[in-house]
Amino acid sequence: MDPRVAGPDTWVLMTQALNSLVLFVILMVNTAVTFLIAHGVIPSLVITGDVAPSLGAFRRFLYPLAAVSLVAAAYAFFFRVIPLAIALMDQIYPRFAI
Protein backbone atom coordinates (compact mmCIF):
# COMPACT_ATOMS: atom_id res chain seq x y z
CA MET A 1 0.00 0.00 0.00
CA ASP A 2 1.34 3.39 -0.96
CA PRO A 3 1.06 6.20 1.57
CA ARG A 4 -0.57 9.47 0.65
CA VAL A 5 1.46 12.62 0.24
CA ALA A 6 1.46 14.61 3.47
CA GLY A 7 -0.54 17.79 3.07
CA PRO A 8 -0.70 20.80 5.38
CA ASP A 9 -3.38 19.21 7.59
CA THR A 10 -1.27 16.10 8.00
CA TRP A 11 1.77 18.14 8.99
CA VAL A 12 -0.27 19.97 11.62
CA LEU A 13 -1.41 16.61 12.98
CA MET A 14 2.19 15.36 12.98
CA THR A 15 3.28 18.42 14.94
CA GLN A 16 0.52 17.94 17.49
CA ALA A 17 1.38 14.25 17.88
CA LEU A 18 5.07 15.01 18.30
CA ASN A 19 4.35 17.74 20.87
CA SER A 20 2.16 15.32 22.81
CA LEU A 21 4.88 12.67 22.72
CA VAL A 22 7.44 15.17 24.01
CA LEU A 23 5.04 16.19 26.78
CA PHE A 24 4.58 12.51 27.71
CA VAL A 25 8.34 11.93 27.89
CA ILE A 26 8.89 15.05 30.00
CA LEU A 27 6.14 14.02 32.42
CA MET A 28 7.51 10.49 32.72
CA VAL A 29 11.03 11.76 33.40
CA ASN A 30 9.59 14.13 36.02
CA THR A 31 7.70 11.22 37.61
CA ALA A 32 10.79 9.02 37.73
CA VAL A 33 13.14 11.68 39.08
CA THR A 34 10.68 12.92 41.68
CA PHE A 35 9.92 9.40 42.91
CA LEU A 36 13.61 8.48 42.95
CA ILE A 37 14.49 11.50 45.04
CA ALA A 38 11.58 10.99 47.43
CA HIS A 39 11.94 7.24 47.82
CA GLY A 40 15.69 6.70 47.50
CA VAL A 41 17.89 9.74 47.81
CA ILE A 42 16.31 11.61 50.73
CA PRO A 43 15.94 8.55 53.02
CA SER A 44 19.49 7.48 52.23
CA LEU A 45 20.87 10.91 53.03
CA VAL A 46 18.86 11.13 56.26
CA ILE A 47 19.94 7.64 57.42
CA THR A 48 23.62 8.32 56.77
CA GLY A 49 23.39 11.69 58.51
CA ASP A 50 24.52 13.72 55.53
CA VAL A 51 21.48 16.00 55.80
CA ALA A 52 19.27 17.10 58.66
CA PRO A 53 16.38 14.77 59.54
CA SER A 54 13.97 17.65 58.95
CA LEU A 55 14.61 17.26 55.21
CA GLY A 56 12.67 13.99 55.40
CA ALA A 57 9.47 16.03 55.64
CA PHE A 58 10.10 17.20 52.07
CA ARG A 59 9.12 13.70 50.93
CA ARG A 60 5.47 14.51 51.72
CA PHE A 61 5.59 17.07 48.94
CA LEU A 62 7.44 14.90 46.42
CA TYR A 63 5.19 11.82 46.53
CA PRO A 64 2.00 13.70 45.53
CA LEU A 65 3.99 15.55 42.87
CA ALA A 66 5.11 12.22 41.41
CA ALA A 67 1.54 10.90 41.50
CA VAL A 68 0.14 13.99 39.76
CA SER A 69 2.88 13.78 37.15
CA LEU A 70 2.12 10.09 36.55
CA VAL A 71 -1.60 10.79 36.10
CA ALA A 72 -0.83 13.65 33.72
CA ALA A 73 1.52 11.40 31.74
CA ALA A 74 -1.14 8.70 31.49
CA TYR A 75 -3.66 11.28 30.30
CA ALA A 76 -1.19 12.67 27.76
CA PHE A 77 -0.52 9.21 26.38
CA PHE A 78 -3.96 7.61 26.37
CA PHE A 79 -6.09 10.64 25.55
CA ARG A 80 -3.72 12.69 23.41
CA VAL A 81 -0.99 10.61 21.77
CA ILE A 82 -2.96 7.51 20.83
CA PRO A 83 -5.94 9.33 19.25
CA LEU A 84 -3.59 11.66 17.36
CA ALA A 85 -1.51 8.71 16.16
CA ILE A 86 -4.61 6.87 14.98
CA ALA A 87 -5.86 9.95 13.14
CA LEU A 88 -2.43 10.45 11.60
CA MET A 89 -2.21 6.84 10.43
CA ASP A 90 -5.69 7.18 8.95
CA GLN A 91 -4.66 10.25 6.95
CA ILE A 92 -1.39 8.78 5.70
CA TYR A 93 -2.60 5.20 5.15
CA PRO A 94 -6.35 5.47 4.46
CA ARG A 95 -6.85 1.71 4.10
CA PHE A 96 -4.51 0.65 6.90
CA ALA A 97 -6.99 -1.60 8.73
CA ILE A 98 -8.09 -3.51 5.63
Q: Reply yes or no on whether the pLDDT at 73 is more than 90.
A: yes
Strand, coil or helix: 59? helix
Residue 89 binned pLDDT confidence (cut-offs 50, 70, 90):
confident
What pTM did the predictor assign? 0.84
Q: Write the single-letter amino acid at 65.
A: L
User: What mean pLDDT do residues 55-74 have?
Assistant: 95
Specify the long-range contacts of residues 73-76, CB closer than 8 Å, at least 24 apart. 73/24, 73/27, 73/28, 73/31, 76/20, 76/23, 76/24, 76/27
Residue 1 binned pLDDT confidence (cut-offs 50, 70, 90):
low
16-63 pLDDT, tens per residue?
Answer: 999 999 999 999 999 999 999 999 999 999 999 999 999 989 999 999
The DSSP call for residue 57 is: G
What was the pLDDT predicted at 91? 85
* Nearest residue to 38 (alpha-carbon basis) of 77, 70, 73, 76: 70
Q: Write the single-letter amino acid at 75.
A: Y
